[in-house]
Amino acid sequence: MKLIRTTKTRLLFHLGHWEAHLLLEVLNLYPCLPPAHHKLSKQPGVPEPEANQQLLDEALAEHRAENQKHLHALLADRRRFAPTEKGGRLSLPPAEVEWVLQVLNDIRVGSWVLLGSPEAIPAKLNAKSAPHFRAMEIAGYFEAQLLEALNGGA
């Protein structure tokens, strides 16, 4: 993933064939973070914990649904994500780059949680764990590329 051009309103990236394929594949995993992962509080004494947790869960579900809708629109919009002869082109305003980073982070952290939140690379990958590890690493790769672009390629 290579930053081609930056203007005040857009960042334009070129992706090779495999990168374009992998970006689509990993973004289609959203949402990945299990819904029960977010807890209102770990502290005792929260008033009406069940009702308030339910409100949080409903708000997060609505937020994930909005993000999914926005993500599908982004991927379908050929002005923002388009195949090219040499791979693909991604054109995003800076605010949308930050939003894509949030989506990728959900996928990366969600995959890590689904792996059991390991402190290090799992010693053995199997048919169940390998897809989560792969998604975590691919999401991390794209996060790093986008962060570097936002920081001026430093």
Q: What is the pLDDT of residues 71-115, one digit of tens each?
A: 999 999 999 999 999 999 999 999 999 999 999 999 999 999 999
Determine if the peptide bond prior to 31 is cis (ω within 30°).
yes
Q: Can you tell me the distance from the alpha carbon of 96 to that of 76, in angstroms, rounded to the nearest whole number? A: 15
pLDDT score, position 54: 85
pLDDT score, position 20: 95
pLDDT score, position 53: 77
pLDDT score, position 102: 96
Q: Which residues of the chain have pLDDT under 70?
A: 37-38, 40-43, 49, 153-154
Contact 104, 26 (CB under 8 A): yes
pLDDT score, position 149: 92
pLDDT score, position 18: 96
